[in-house]
Each structure stands twice: as structure tokens, then as C-alpha cells.
């Protein structure tokens, strides 16, 4: 049926060990973080793991459900991107910057739908 079994390289390439060593080093660097909220409250977090969405869930599920985007140290930040020591704002749709992110993302989704339905590259139609 066309299936051929594959045997692993023996010995494995050197870069495999280098990558595994780097991963082990980075994993060992997990450390406790301090995330400061706008009201001054400090929330404990873990490097390479805790995300703005998780912090929002820790405050309330309603906040998490209504948060569009985060601002980390005054820079727009995806909700599922891990944090470092930082100040954190959780922006809901009533914030102008959150609206801009929402509409920009919606434009990408609409463009993808148009490409799939009409089979055309719609990138030249967007002036954003």
C-alpha cells in the first residue's frame, strides 16, 4: 500500500542533542514572576507558562470571556502568549485599542473567507 517503515537515524544528528540540552536549560529557568495589575495588585505567575488569559480567569471568568486583548508594559499582547515580569492591562471591547485589534482580526477572517469562497487572493483589496 505504499507504506515503508522508516528507521531512526543512528546515531541521531548532533543538533538533536543540542536542542534537547537547550530545552532542558530553558525549562530549568522557569521562575516565579510578578505581574502588576492597574490597581496595583501583584499576581504571582510562572515564566514560560502563565498567560494574560489565565490571569483574567483567576480574577473572574466573566472578565476572561470579555477580554479582547492584553497590554503588557504598554504593548499589545496576545491573550495566550506567556508573560514575564510586567505590568498587565486586560482590555475589553469598550476600549478603543481593543476595538482596533478586534476589527483588524475580523478583517483577516473576512479576507480568508472571501479567498475560500471566491478563490481569489484578496490582499490587494485591503488598505489597512
Using one digit for the tens of pLDDT, what is the confidence trace for 24-65? 888 777 788 999 999 999 999 998 899 999 999 999 999 999
**Alpha-carbon gap, residue 110 to 34, rounded angstroms:** 38
- Going by their DSSP bridges, the two strands 75-77 and 32-36 should be labelled as unpaired
Preceding omega of 11 cis (within 30 degrees of 0): yes
According to DSSP, residue 125 is labeled: G
Sheet holding 42-46, edge to edge: 42-46, 32-36, 86-92, 67-72, 75-77
Using a cut of 0.75, tell me whether the model's pTM lies above it.
no
Amino acid at each position: 500500500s505504499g507504506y515503508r517503515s522508516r528507521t531512526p537515524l543512528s546515531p541521531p544528528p548532533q543538533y538533536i542533542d543540542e536542542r534537547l540540552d537547550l530545552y532542558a536549560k530553558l525549562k530549568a529557568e522557569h521562575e516565579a514572576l510578578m505581574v502588576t495589575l492597574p490597581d496595583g495588585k501583584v499576581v504571582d505567575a510562572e515564566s514560560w507558562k502563565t498567560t494574560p488569559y489565565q490571569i483574567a480567569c483567576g480574577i473572574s471568568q466573566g472578565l476572561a470571556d470579555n477580554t479582547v486583548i492584553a497590554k503588557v508594559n504598554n504593548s499589545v499582547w496576545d491573550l495566550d502568549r506567556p508573560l514575564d515580569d510586567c505590568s498587565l492591562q486586560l482590555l475589553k471591547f469598550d476600549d478603543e485599542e481593543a476595538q482596533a485589534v478586534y476589527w483588524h482580526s475580523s478583517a483577516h477572517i473576512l479576507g480568508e473567507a472571501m479567498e475560500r469562497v471566491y478563490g481569489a487572493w484578496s490582499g490587494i483589496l485591503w488598505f489597512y
